[in-house]
Amino acid sequence: MADAKPTYRNPWAWIPTLYLAQGLPFAVVNAMSVIMYKSLGVSNTDIAFYTAWLYLPWVIKPLWSPVVDILRTRRWWIWVTQLLVGAGFAGVGLSLPLPVFFQATLVLFYLVAFSSATHDIAADGLYMLALNEKQQAFFVGIRSTFFRISMITGQGLLVIVAGYLQTHTGLEKVTLTVTARPGAALLETLNPESFPDKVPGEGDLRLIAGTAELDLDPQPRPRAEVAALMAAARAWNTTNEFIRTLQRAKVVDQKNEGPSWWARTLSQPLGGFLRERFGPDTRARSDSAGNLGVVTLQLSKRPGREIVVTPAFKSGDKSIALVEGSRLVFDDQNWNRPALVVFQLDAKLRSETGAVFEVRSGNVALSWSITFAVLVALFILFGLYHRFILPHPAGDRPGDVQGIPVFIKEFFRTFGSFFRKDHIGVFLLFLLLYRFAEAQLVKLAAPFLLDAPEAGGLALTTGQVGFVYGTVGTLALTFGGLLGGFVASRHGLRAWLWPMVLAIQLPNVVYVYLSYAQPDSFLIVNACVAIEQFGYGFGFAAYLLVMIYIARGEHKTAHYAICTGFMAMGMMLPGMFSGWLQEQIGYEHFFVWVLLATIPGFIVVKLIPLDPEFGKKA
């Protein structure tokens, strides 16, 4: 096909939409997927490990950038990869109702990630070919702004949409009032045979609670009695498949069907040691425990679909906690069996008090499928729009395929020159360790906000998490980044390097506060996340400027692309083990560990050499 005649397009007609399309897949794959998997019952270990691997395409994208330059035009790659991203999102939405949704959606997210990374290469290339240097300088802020808007959309608005759909595809809410009242009857045994097997099965589909008001005696009881009742309730819910936390398939030794070598020699012994020394249940305890009580929940009729029920604290005294049944799954097999929701009083409680809990429900898979349908429509529009509106710059032509061997030789020469730079070892340590703590925090922040109090979380709804982390958090992140770039341009990076290091590392302490205090106020949660994200944005400016500093000299574009690969690797590797670690030691100790994990970042900053004048505006 003959090359298209060079054409000019007003940059305002295509740059905003191009960088919206560039940022959305990154936000969905690396942030929204974490929230989605958590709401679908995937364990924190699996969420952190497998979604961390989704960074891989952005880690290695410099390796196939020559292919984009040689085969077809950047313009062609842009609209084709946008349609491929849309197809990947369509596959994710269609896979969510399947029993193997976790495996299927991960494969499709990899398709989206590779398509998105390829799109990044082509979009940045077209940006440089279609604009002159003056235009590039002017529109760099515009492209950055619309990239941030895409992050707010992916982490915030779309999550809010999913949360809204969840609450509006469920049954009418049920309110449970739990009161600590001296003299109330004690729960002596849990006898599953005494629970009713059937309900009328008539009328509208609704949730039925065994009682709307539960009274508990605040007098402590022997710990062994309480543990036995808790074990019986958990066994009942598990046996009747009300609890369905999706866990990774165990790696099995084919010879003896036992744990794998890795599990026997490392993960199990290390996990046992961490749970024993630092786990959430290792604090000093007396022989008594707070009293507990049980409320049964079941459906009024066969639902014809899967319904996820999530009781959660609404108001009152947090000395009354929900300790079992925070996520229950009903379907056609167990609809007429009672699920058990267990409440426990603080062992130190003596006076009369109360709390109100709200039982919510919804079709989680459907809500996310509809959300992905919105994404599919967006990327079909992006692809078709850019097919016709993108410019045809004169320099946007396919390379000479006959020259591929020469091109590859030059590519490896450029790649090798990166590793011959002065102090490159120290700079690589900086790229990998500066965000060592943040890489672990970011994978568990949303699960922490979503998890129930008995698991150490804050029990926010999906919509609330979309608002706090995707909207308030992203706005604070953007403001911090703008301020960081401004002050660095005024006085140079070296003058502001240590304030930026402190800004990105120390605000992680807000998650320690949130995990220990578990505040009721949504305003406090928003404020804490805003502080942490502002500090991250301000401190991340130093990271970007150091990458520019490393890439100086010949081949700076290629060398900067290599830096971005190491940047993604620095997020991928720590994120892989963070979920497993959190499940061993609990949220409180995990966030303390995150604070300790900031130490390597301080050390590598001390080691890097910087020109005092670098970063100052000329």
Same fold flag, 7-169+364-399 and 401-618: yes
pLDDT (0 to 100) of residue 4:
57
pLDDT (0 to 100) of residue 265:
63
H/E stretch holding 310 reads strand 307-316
Backbone φ and ψ of 42, nearest 5°: -80, 145
Q: What is residue 286's three-state secondary structure? A: coil
Q: What is the signed CA dihedral for 264, 270, 274, 277, rounded to 10 degrees?
A: 90
Environment class of residue 23 by beta-carbon count within 10 Å: exposed (0-12), middle (13-18) or buried (19+)?
Answer: buried
Instruction: Dig out the tokens for 303 from the structure.
Output: 């639902």
Q: CA–CA separation, 87 vs 75, rounded Å?
A: 19
Q: CA–CA separation, 95 vs 368, rounded Å?
A: 11
Contacts (Cβ under 8 Å, ≥6 apart) of 521: none
pLDDT (0 to 100) of residue 246:
58
Supply the DSSP string of 204-272, one letter for each residue.
Answer: S--EEES-SEEEE--S-EEHHHHHHHHHHHHHHHHHTT----B-PPPPB-TTTSSB-HHIIIIIHHHHH
pLDDT (0 to 100) of residue 413:
80
pLDDT (0 to 100) of residue 266:
63
Q: CA–CA separation, 473 vs 220, rounded Å?
A: 41
Distance of CA 555 to the CA centre of its chain: 34
CATH architecture under which domain 7-169+364-399 falls: Up-down Bundle (1.20)
Global pTM reads 0.80
pLDDT (0 to 100) of residue 548:
78
Q: Is residue 491 within 8 Å of 187, Cβ to Cβ?
A: no
Q: What fold is seen in the domain 401-618?
A: Growth Hormone; Chain: A; (1.20.1250)
- The β-bridge relationship of strands 307-316 and 328-330 is antiparallel
pLDDT (0 to 100) of residue 1:
43
Characterize 273-284 residue by residue with b for buried, 16 or more Cβ atoms within 10 angstroms of its Cβ, and e for exposed.
ebbeebbeeeee
* Average confidence (pLDDT) per 10 residues, the chain, 618 residues: 62 89 92 91 88 89 74 88 96 92 94 92 80 69 77 87 86 92 84 62 81 91 89 91 63 47 63 69 64 91 88 86 89 89 88 90 90 96 93 76 68 82 90 92 89 82 84 84 80 84 91 91 92 89 82 72 85 88 90 94 88 61
Angle among Cα 259, 447, 529 to the nearest 5 degrees reads: 145
pLDDT (0 to 100) of residue 284:
45
- Nearest in space to 219 (alpha carbons), one of 353, 350, 320, 354: 350
pLDDT (0 to 100) of residue 193:
63
pLDDT (0 to 100) of residue 128:
75
Q: What ranges do the domains of the chain cover?
A: 7-169+364-399, 174-250+290-362, 401-618
In three-state form (DSSP H/G/I as H, E/B as E, the rest C), the secondary structure along 476-534 is HHHHHHHHHHHHHHHHCHHHHHHHHHHHHHHHHHHHHHHHHHCCCCHHHHHHHHHHHHH
